[in-house]
Structures are given as structure tokens and as C-alpha cells.
Amino acid sequence: MSDNEINRHFKTAVLNSHAYHVPDSTGLIKLDAMENPYQLTDDFKQQWQSELVNAELNRYPDADMSSMRETIKQSFSVSADCGLIFGNGSDELIQIVLMAINRGSVMSPAPSFVMYQHLATLLEHEFIAVPLTDDFSLDLPELLEKIETIQPSIIFLAWPNNPTGVAYKKSDIEQIIKKSTGLVIVDEAYHAFANETMLNDIKHYPNLLVMRTLSKLGLAGLRLGFLVGQTDIIEQLEKVRMPYNVGTLNQLSVSFICRHIEVLTTQTEKIKQDRAVLFQQLSEMDAIHPIPSATNFILFKVSGLSADHVHQQLIENKILIKNLSKAHPSLTDCLRVTVGTEEENTMFINALKLIFNHA
């Protein structure tokens, strides 16, 4: 098809955007995507598989997701009087919300999770990015002023934030919710590695929605996200969700694994301990400036060598991390490493030392 014809068929927002790029990680130690590095034990896998063998795959999935819903409510202490909607990953929930709300302004601090801007733009909302301060905290006065003048339909707050790893002050988030006449989504994707939640505050704030994902907890391959809010809001969002967006095998798997949630929380506790070790090791290197993290990754700035060079050299050493140096002006020279196993973290640190010593 000619360029002209392509241009005629597609929305300008689609023509101007890029597909989400996932780099080839074949043969590399994968520390780029905030995944949990641990496998489930063979014994546990066998028990899980025995739950799946009798699944009736000739039938559509349970549309109410009743069994999984109950397990999730219990495992994550979701209050009985809250509404709960499931997505094929929390990415899909962001899309559902942005499809459901009136066309208007969508606001988020920047830099933050790329999907807020990507999906808002594709769905033809105006996206307003409010820069973080130099230490990647919220610029609260600026945010409150922008909220008052623009009155965005929706605000996304990743808490803790990706790609910085910073957990904003809860009192700042509450001020934003109180100031906002639109919806506020607090995206707690990294809650397993942080200390606080807004889940128990939903009853106080009708415009608050709290989003979680099982991806960072250790089930990225399953694709399950959930959004909790007051029931009248969730009822509207349900009209936009595709009827069978979570398949039978996924529902059964989530129900089984979440009934044994301690298997995953033991792993996340270990990741938190290893994050402290990794942070310390990065801090001890003169050319590396890590940002304290409440997530399962660490953002760091390099000096002396370019981030592009360090990223490429790490690949030569069979280690894949994320190069963010061109993602946002405040991320110049920045790279992001996911906390891996002890062995992977050591290999990463050793490779990094080698790269800087040879410079």
C-alpha cells in the first residue's frame, strides 16, 4: 500500500506513534523488564498443572471470574464493599479507563510509565506531563496549580514510580486526590517492594482508583492486573471491558498461585534484600549515581562514559538492562537495572566495574 493510502486509513495519532519495542534478549541475562528472576519449584508446578488439566477449554471462561475474584480479594485484602475489575495486565486497565472517560486532559508527572501517554494520545486525549523535581520527587505546588487550571479528566500516579523507583509522600498523593475533580489512578504496580498502599483509602475518596498487577510479583507471563474503586465507577468501566478478557487457564492459575501467595512474597522479600546490596555496590562506584528505590529496580546515572556506551558494553558482556538516556530530558545518562538473582547481580556489578576500569 502506498504511504498516501496508509495515511488515509489511519488516525494521525496512530501514524505518529510507535509500537512498543521489546528488545531481543536471546542469550542475555535479562535485567531490563522488572521481572521476578525466580522459578517456581517442580513440586509446586506439578500441583498447579494438576489444577489445569480438567479445564473445559471448549467453553468460554467464567465471565464473572468468581473464584479468582474471591482469591484476589482475600490475598490482597480488598474490602468487600469495593468494586474490582480485571485486565489482561494492568496495561489493558489503563486502556479501559481511557476509553471510558470523556475526551479531555490526562495528566501525569514525568518521567513516568510510558503507557499513560501512549494510550492517552492514541485515544485522542490531551496528555499533560508535569515534570518531577531534580531528585525525581513530585513538584506538588506545580501539580496542584495545573490541576486547578486544567481540571484533568484523569491523573495517573505510579506509586512507586517507574522508571525512577521513587515512592512519593502519601500526604502529597492525598492532596492531589482532594484537589482533583477528575479520577485519580494510583498505580501500585510495585507495591510488593514498597511499604504503603492507598487501597484502604478508597472509602474516603470517590475519585480514587488503585491499580495493581501480578507481573512484578512473579507472574508477568500470566498477564493479570486489577483495579479497585468505589462500585459505581467500576460498574461504568465494566461496560468497556471485553467479556472474556481473562482466559480460563489464567483464572485457574491465578486462583491456585494466590492461594499460596507466600511462595511469591518470600521471593519478593529476597529481592528487597538484594536491592539493598545492589544499591550499596552501585553507590561505591565513583562513576555511578543510583537513586534510592522502593521497587525491584534501580535507576542510575553514569558519568565519564555515555549511557549508550555502557548499555552496549553490558550487552557485549551478555547483560541486558534498560537504556533510558533518550526517554526524557531528565533521564540523560540514565540506565535502569532490575534486581535479579544474587548471581545475576554480581555478574552485572562485575561487568560494570570492568567497563569503567577499561575506559
Q: Please, is 205 exposed, middle or buried when counting C-beta atoms within 10 Å of its C-beta (0-12, 13-18, 19+)?
A: middle
Q: Strands, E, within 88-182: which ranges?
A: 105-110, 126-131, 154-158
Q: Yes or no: say if 156 and 187 are a contact pair by the CB < 8 Å rule.
A: yes
- Of the candidate residues 36, 108, 117, 213, the single one contacting ligand PMP (CB under 6 A): 213
Query: Based on CB atoms, which residue is closest to ligand PMP, 86 or 256?
Result: 86
Sign of CA dihedral 63, 93, 79, 182: negative
Q: Does 34 bind ligand PMP (CB under 6 A)?
A: yes
Q: Kindly state the cell numbers that stand for 117.
A: 501517554
Q: Which is nearer to ligand PMP, 158 or 254 (CB)?
A: 158
- Euclidean distance between CA atoms 313 and 327, whole angstroms: 19
Burial 267-281 (b: 16+ CB within 10 A, else e): bbebbbebbeebbeb
Residue 158 near ligand PMP by CB under 6 A? yes
Rounded distance, CA 230 to CA 335, Å?
Answer: 38
Residue 309 CB, shortest distance to ligand PMP, in Å, is 25
The pair phi, psi for residue 186, each rounded to 5°, is: -95, 110
Candidates 67-75, 83-91, 233-241, 280-288 — which segment interacts with ligand PMP by CB under 6 A?
Answer: 83-91
Nearer to ligand PMP, 224 or 252 (CB): 224
Which residue number, 89 or 340, has a Cβ lying nearer to ligand PMP? Answer: 89
Q: How far is the CB of 28 from ligand PMP (least distance, A)?
A: 18
What are the DSSP E strand ranges found in the chain? 29-30, 83-87, 105-110, 126-131, 154-158, 183-187, 208-213, 225-229, 288-290, 297-302, 319-320, 322-323, 334-338
Interface with ligand PMP includes 113 (CB under 6 A)? yes
Element (H, E) at 282: helix 262-283
Q: Which span sits near ligand PMP by CB under 6 A: 14-22, 192-200, 213-221, 250-258? A: 213-221
Closer to ligand PMP by Cβ: residue 246 or 355: 246
Query: In terms of CB distance, is 190 or 279 closer to ligand PMP?
Result: 190
Q: How many helices (H) and strands (E) does the chain have?
A: 13, 13
> In the complex with ligand PMP, which residue's Cβ is closer, 225 or 340?
225
Contacting residue, 71, 90, 95, 325, with ligand PMP by CB under 6 A:
90
* Residue 247 Cβ vs ligand PMP, minimum distance, rounded to whole Å: 15
- Cβ burial, residue 117 (10 Å; 0-12/13-18/19+): buried
338 binds ligand PMP (CB under 6 A): no
Q: Which stretch binds ligand PMP (CB under 6 A): 86-94, 123-131, 248-256, 347-355?
A: 86-94
For ligand PMP, the closer CB: 32 or 274? 32
CA distance 147 to 185: 14
Interface with ligand PMP in residues 163-202 (CB under 6 A): 187, 189
Residue 199: DSSP 8-state: G
Question: Contacts with ligand PMP in 119-148 (CB under 6 A)?
Answer: none
Which residue of the chain is nearest ligand PMP when measured via CB?
89
Total interface residues for ligand PMP by CB under 6 A: 13
Q: What span, in angstroms and rounded, lies between the C-alpha atoms of 264 and 92?
A: 23
Of residues 273 through 312, those in contact with ligand PMP by CB under 6 A are: none
CB of 70 to ligand PMP, least distance (A): 21
Binding residues vs ligand PMP (CB under 6 A): 34, 89-91, 113, 158, 162, 187, 189, 213, 215, 220, 225
